[in-house]
Structure 1
Amino acid sequence: MKTNRAVRTPGGLSVRVDVRTLVVGTLLLLVALAASVVLIGTGDFPIPAADVVRTLLGEGDPGQEFIVTELRLPRVLVGLLVGASLGLAGALFQSISRNPLGSPDVLGLGQGATAGALVVIVLFSGTADQVALGALAGGLATGFAIYVLAWKRGVHGYRLVLVGIGVSAIVTAVNGYLLTKSDIVDAARAIVWMTGSLEGRDWDQVWPLLALCAVLVPLVLANSRGLRTMEMGDDVSYALGVRVERVRLVLMLSAVLLTASATAASGPVGFIALTAPQLARRLTRAPGPNLVPAMCMGAALLVGSDWISQRVFGAGQLPVGVVTGVLGGVYLLWLLVTERRAGRI
């Protein structure tokens, strides 16, 4: 059965469409949206899914309208955007490094964003908005440091991962030091933030993240052809006319911004960036970065994890970062056992 089809556009261009990838991406998007509806209806005041949909369409009663649109919808939208951002960032880093471990979690970008937030919390007792800006600045600074240290006539994939692991270890130590220098109130606040949570998220977190995704996602997709070519090696990419370093720099900067902004909005949510691209690739069975399926998988994973945390433990009892950490750790152990049985490690 053929999974690739050529579609001719009105302008005469021929575009190859992978049918399986399109179907998987669509199904993952529907799963994420369905989980979002169920999550909106979950809480101390349960709302049936049908009533949630009617309220979102503007046909609910005033009480449901307030609960859905003001209290729960912003949290779910932040979850969707954070999950999609981390899934896309993970797919970009894994494709650029040509290494399944080349994700923001391993490279230390999450730890860098955490360091920026801890500096604001511990040293300046900053507000929530200032903490978010600190996390964004910390993530960008860490990404810049990794790129500069990994540069040697270009950025090699394994060198990028090794440098990232080293930077991650250093930044983790700095974070531990900052916690030891803080007083009990700031330390408790920092620990809560470092866990990764969607609790209390409102429209103030939605709009900046949505605006950033509206700019970066089209930019990334516009460079996806060059990214796919780069997986065959720099020499082949140069021969095919791809400006390798320019494309790599644009995509790495986009991935760093996506990771830092997602961390600023929700705190460091672990393993989504690592597992979402790999799960998407296993479902699509397609080569290449699988950017759109990874986005949809990340959104579905994070919203589903948030639903699990609320359904099993109650609203506000268990941060979503704990659930994603447990699920991601189980997946990583399963992956290692599978690879070892296959003789690849």
Structure 2
Amino acid sequence: MMNETINLIMIGRKNRRRRYVLVTSLLAIIAFILCWAMLLLGNTIYPIQDVIRVLLGEQVKGASFAVGTIRFPRMIAGLFAGFAFGIAGTVFQTMLRNPLANPNVIGITAGSSAAAVFCIIVLHLSNTMVSIASVAGGLATVFVIYLLSKGTSFAIGRLILIGIGIQAMLTAVISYLILIGRVHDIPAALRWLSGSLNGAKVENLYPLILTVLLFVPIIIFMSKQLEMLELGEQAATSLGIDTDKTRFILIVSSVLILALATASTGPIAFIAFLSGPIAKRLVGVGFSTIIPAGLVGIILVLASDLVGQFAFVSRYPVGVITGIIGGPYLIYLLIRMNRKGDL
């Protein structure tokens, strides 16, 4: 009887592992196809061999400018920003055990946005300084939220409520700054707030790329501790996890990649919110959803950007399309949580 139970457990684990590998592989393939679609599609569709030659550094008439200067930086921005948004979102949702506890809802991206809009409208700073201020604003916001929510002991509900309150305050600040802004500054601020891959330049993406390459491995390495935090404070502590230290490392790593992504593309709506739940539904239980969530983030950003470019008469920033997708899901989630008594 014992052997049969062990065999059933092993078979179940093998099936879950097979599903995880299959789903993750399919997501990676879809992301790869979308990356190539970003390079190939445009006002002129170039042959794949010309695109490859451009990527290898050759000069190809027409294609060198369109692919090398416009499409390739746009694709890289979507690739790394989508990966960062997806991973940061699922870390917060898993760690805080609440699908609403993502960086968009609890005010972190609002902090980055408020700092960026202030620099654009009030200080009239360069794009580089706006990006630096955006990162600083995101870090300062998460520090304030964590400090206010800690109290005598860490409480998830307190953090979420404080985050929602700060998000509302920062949104009001952004609205006020736009109202008092000069006419020629407002379009730049609105373009930044909408979340867009337009005008991406490879040299401006190096900080994002470096941050993702440095901190995503840390998050993956700590995926087991993250899963233990999902069990609750007492359970994680009883399993030997230093919850404060683990939470601090995960929050700092996630906020850094999130802030750099926001600084590079603007706050692309709902990617951090949608990626984790979609990945969890596809992968199932038993394995970390960090990498699948990052891949889902890439797919959502690149697919939405392609839709915004080619599906309508006018072209729309990627953030507009993701907002259309994410808004109904947020309403559905709130209704479902209310029916379950989680709100």
Length-normalised TM-score, structure 1: 0.89
Matched, 1:324 2:322: yes
Kindly tell me: are residues 206 and 4 of structure 1, through their superposed partners in 2, closer, same or farther at Cα, counting changes over 3 Å? farther
The equivalent of 2:226 in structure 1 is 227
Kindly tell me: are residues 124 and 340 of structure 1, through their superposed partners in 2, closer, same or farther at Cα, counting changes over 3 Å? closer
Count of aligned pairs between the two proteins: 334
> Which deviates more, 85-94 or 153-162?
153-162
Matched, 1:243 2:242: yes
The equivalent of 1:78 in structure 2 is 77
Provide the rounded CA distance (Å) in 2 between the counterparts of 1:176 and 1:343: 33
Provide the rounded CA distance (Å) in 2 between the counterparts of 1:173 and 1:341: 30
Provide the rounded CA distance (Å) in 1 between the counterparts of 2:326 and 2:213: 28
Identity of aligned residues (%): 35
Q: What amino acid does structure 1 have at the position aligned with 2:148?
A: L
The equivalent of 1:195 in structure 2 is 194
Provide the rounded CA distance (Å) in 1 between the counterparts of 2:96 and 2:340: 23
Kindly tell me: are residues 172 and 149 of structure 1, through their superposed partners in 2, closer, same or farther at Cα, counting changes over 3 Å? same
- Contact 2:20-2:287 within 8 A present in 1 as well: no
Provide the rounded CA distance (Å) in 1 between the counterparts of 2:106 and 2:184: 30
Q: What amino acid does structure 2 have at the position aligned with 1:328?
A: G
The equivalent of 1:10 in structure 2 is none
The equivalent of 2:146 in structure 1 is 147
- The equivalent position to 1:4 in structure 2, one of 13, 17, 31, is 13
- Contact 1:41-1:48 within 8 A present in 2 as well: yes
Q: What amino acid does structure 2 have at the position aligned with 1:37?
A: W
Provide the rounded CA distance (Å) in 2 between the counterparts of 1:297 and 1:26: 12
The equivalent of 1:109 in structure 2 is 108
> Which deviates more, 99-108 or 39-48?
39-48
Give deviations 1:256-276, integer Å, cap 9, x for gaps: 112211110001111000001
- Contact 2:225-2:241 within 8 A present in 1 as well: yes
Provide the rounded CA distance (Å) in 1 between the counterparts of 2:118 and 2:341: 45
The equivalent of 1:259 in structure 2 is 258
Note the residue ranges of structure 1 that are not aligned, 5 or more in a row: 7-16
SS in 2 for 1:100: coil
Length-normalised TM-score, structure 2: 0.90
Provide the rounded CA distance (Å) in 1 between the counterparts of 2:260 and 2:294: 15
> Which deviates more, 330-339 or 17-26?
330-339
User: 1:5: Cα distance to partner?
Assistant: 4.2
Q: What amino acid does structure 2 have at the position aligned with 1:4?
A: R
Provide the rounded CA distance (Å) in 2 between the counterparts of 1:281 and 1:49: 34
Kindly tell me: are residues 336 and 182 of structure 1, through their superposed partners in 2, closer, same or farther at Cα, counting changes over 3 Å? closer
Provide the rounded CA distance (Å) in 2 between the counterparts of 1:164 and 1:335: 18
Give deviations 1:288-342, integer Å, cap 9, x for gaps: 6511100000011100000111111368x21110000001123334445666788
The equivalent of 1:34 in structure 2 is 33
User: 1:69: Cα distance to partner?
Assistant: 2.4
User: 1:112: Cα distance to partner?
Assistant: 0.6
Give deviations 1:228-251, integer Å, cap 9, x for gaps: 111111222112111111000110
- Contact 2:139-2:255 within 8 A present in 1 as well: yes
